[in-house]
């Protein structure tokens, strides 16, 4: 168990606290915990690369931790009426498809997927705090999610064709 993987597991373990703060109306603390968890994604990646701790477990756990964080908080935001259901459902559907794809073949995150994650995190932060334009930023996250998801599907199909030849 590497230090990077421990950071990822700690991130997963702290997600319920973010949700509890959100659901009890302690929005400032929910936003703070969310930002810490979002930035810890970069921290575990940095540790893994700097200390040569990149592992197959980490390649699976890290995107899973991101998805658990994003989907948990988005569902909580929807329950509170702070996020519209349709963009949340579209994001959830995309994540299930891409996660099932990544379960069979590990792909490095593309630049557009990294932007998708950043925009999702910003949108969620904005929704937690009821900031103006949060709904618009959430829809931008949906757009980027489907563009990056399409790229993953295309990459996967291309790889499958190359393996058949």
**pLDDT digits 0-9 by tens, 94-139:** 999 888 877 777 666 788 988 999 999 999 999 999 999 999 999 9
* CATH number of the domain enclosing 59: 1.20.120.1760
Neighbours of 92 (CB within 10 A): 16
Does residue 161 have a pLDDT over 80?
no
- Please tell me the chain's helix, strand, coil percentages from 3-state DSSP, rounded to the nearest 5: 85, 0, 15
Which residues span the domain enclosing 150?
3-164
Residue 31, CA atoms < 13 Å, CB-side half-sphere: 14
Provide the domain count of the chain: 1
Q: What was the pLDDT predicted at 37? A: 96
Tokens of 109: 């995150």
Distance (Å, whole) CA 54 – CA 106: 13
């Amino acid at each position: 168990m590497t230090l990077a993987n421990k950071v990822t597991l700690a991130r997963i373990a702290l997600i319920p606290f973010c949700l509890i703060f959100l659901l009890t109306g302690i929005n400032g603390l929910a936003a703070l915990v969310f930002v810490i968890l979002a930035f810890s994604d970069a921290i575990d990646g940095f540790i893994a690369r700097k200390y040569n701790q990149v592992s197959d477990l980490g390649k699976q756990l890290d995107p899973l931790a991101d998805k658990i964080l994003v989907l948990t908080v988005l569902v909580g935001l929807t329950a509170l009426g702070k996020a519209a259901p349709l963009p949340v459902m579209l994001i959830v559907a995309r994540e299930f498809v891409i996660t099932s794809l990544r379960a069979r073949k590990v792909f490095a995150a593309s630049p557009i997927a990294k932007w998708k994650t950043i925009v999702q995190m910003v949108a969620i932060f904005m929704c937690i705090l009821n900031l103006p334009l949060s709904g618009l930023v959430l829809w931008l996250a949906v757009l980027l999610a489907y563009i990056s998801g399409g790229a993953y599907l295309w990459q996967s199909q291309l790889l499958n064709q190359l393996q058949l030849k």
